[in-house]
Structure 1
Amino acid sequence: MSHLEKAEKASVDARSPQEAFGSHPSGLRPLGNPGPLGLYGFASTTLILSFYNVSVNGITHPNAVVGMALFVGGLAQFVAGMWEFACANSFGATAFTMYGGFWMSFATLYLPGSGIAAAYTDAAEFDHAVGIYLMTWFIVTFLLFVASLRRNIGLIALFFFLTLTFMMLGISKFVVSASEACGKAGGALGIITAFIAFYVGTAQLLVPSESYFRLPLGDIPKRLD
């Protein structure tokens, strides 16, 4: 091997894996947008549970959503949140990671092996415990709604309806006289929320270079300072 060939080999070996194999002009591989994955995972799981909450076809027990909540609403969203951190999107990372954790923790409540529900001998006590759980998520969602106000109309609508969803579901666990009505109202609001999430996820998925059309999200002018 000549001195020139040795020098060229040493130059290649000295590069990082990203520089050696990246196709991006900067030498780094570009990251895909994890937003559609997180939004689809959230929307599909929310839609199924919300159908149960409004008692579609007489269904009143949410246990069939457990698998969906663990792996689609939970794991898929959690992974999307981790990749949002890599994309320097703190809002998306926080929202997806938090709701991924929500779905996994919610599913755990209804796993027989967890023993959580079985630990409550009084059904009313269990309802109140779940009510506190849901109202905590109402607070989290309201704060994310506030944080979304300068992003786009699609996200604002998503977090607005999700805030109302958690509020109504939380109330349904505390107020016995309004339990059924508030539970079904929360389910109806959840269905609206799910379809908004599907829309926002699809709008992010339809990129100009690969799609015949775009879906508007209602962009809001950013602050200049």
Structure 2
Amino acid sequence: MDINNALKADPAPLGLAGFGLTTFLLSFVNAGILSGSAVNVVMPLAFAYGGFAQLLTGAFEMRRGNTFGFTAFTSYGSFWFFYAFLVIFNDLKIISIPGKALGIALILWGLFTLYMWSGTFRLNLALFLTFLFLWLAFIVLGFGSYYSIIELTRLGGIFGFLTAFFAVYTSFGIVNNSLKPGTIPLGPAILK
């Protein structure tokens, strides 16, 4: 295998799929479709696909010189490790997760996502929508956790579904467009 050709492949579809599928699964819990105990099914996916696959994607994006992709995939891959460790440590009674602290953590991720979202204005509409709904999901989930308002958590789950849909759609589009350019529309950039 020629390493130069391997480095030409776009790693983003892998990271977007890992992020999207993990987010879909967790959103079923947040939206109240699955019980809270189903979060234990999310944890292996959070480590393997949401976490590890995105960290790997981030490393390849760095190698390609894509600062945005490197920052996004490495950060959100790390988020999935953070979240999985929180759940596992809580289940093992090593820690107890205070709702207010989790709420602040999610709001901080929302603030990070807000500035990452601003980087999508010059990319494509599908990524713009992915980060817009991710920002809304983190903020709403954060306030839901901080104030213990289940309706906000449910709404955050809905925003999570929209986030996951656009992430997976973007992954699908990039893969298909690599095979035949223009096959799947990703939409124009908001700003030129």
TM-score by length of 2: 0.90
Q: CA deviation at 1:151?
A: 1.0
Find the partner of 1:193 among 139, 163, 166: 163
3-state SS in 1 of match to 2:166 = helix
RMSD: 2.2
d(CA) in 2 for partners of 1:22, 1:127: 50
Deviations 1:50-95 (CA, angstroms, capped at 9, x unpaired): 00111215x1232221111011100001100100111111111110
Question: Does structure 2 retain, via aligned residues, the 8 Å contact 1:108–1:114?
Answer: no
Find the partner of 2:13 among 15, 36, 40: 36
The equivalent of 2:151 in structure 1 is 181
d(CA) in 1 for partners of 2:168, 2:6: 25
The equivalent of 2:36 in structure 1 is 60
Find the partner of 2:95 among 119, 124, 139: 119
The equivalent of 1:93 in structure 2 is 70
Q: Which has the higher contact order (CA 8 A, sep 6+)?
A: 2
d(CA) in 2 for partners of 1:118, 1:173: 20
Count, aligned residues:
190
Question: Structure 2 vs 1, CA of residues 220 and 81 (structure 1 numbering), >3 Å: closer, same or farther?
Answer: same
Find the partner of 1:149 among 121, 125, 130: 121
Structure 2 residue runs without a partner (length 5+): none
d(CA) in 2 for partners of 1:60, 1:103: 17
The equivalent of 1:160 in structure 2 is 132
Question: Structure 2 vs 1, CA of residues 22 and 175 (structure 1 numbering), >3 Å: closer, same or farther?
Answer: closer
One-letter amino acid of the structure 2 residue matched with residue 53 of structure 1: N
Matched, 1:217 2:186: yes
State the identity as a percent: 33
Question: Structure 2 vs 1, CA of residues 94 and 218 (structure 1 numbering), >3 Å: closer, same or farther?
Answer: same
Question: Does structure 2 retain, via aligned residues, the 8 Å contact 1:134–1:166?
Answer: yes
Q: CA deviation at 1:114?
A: 8.3
The equivalent of 1:140 in structure 2 is 112
Question: Does structure 1 retain, via aligned residues, the 8 Å contact 2:141–2:153?
Answer: yes
Deviations 1:142-161 (CA, angstroms, capped at 9, x unpaired): 01001111111111111000
Question: Structure 2 vs 1, CA of residues 173 and 221 (structure 1 numbering), >3 Å: closer, same or farther?
Answer: closer
d(CA) in 2 for partners of 1:212, 1:144: 26
Q: CA deviation at 1:222?
A: 7.4
Find the partner of 1:78 among 55, 68, 74: 55
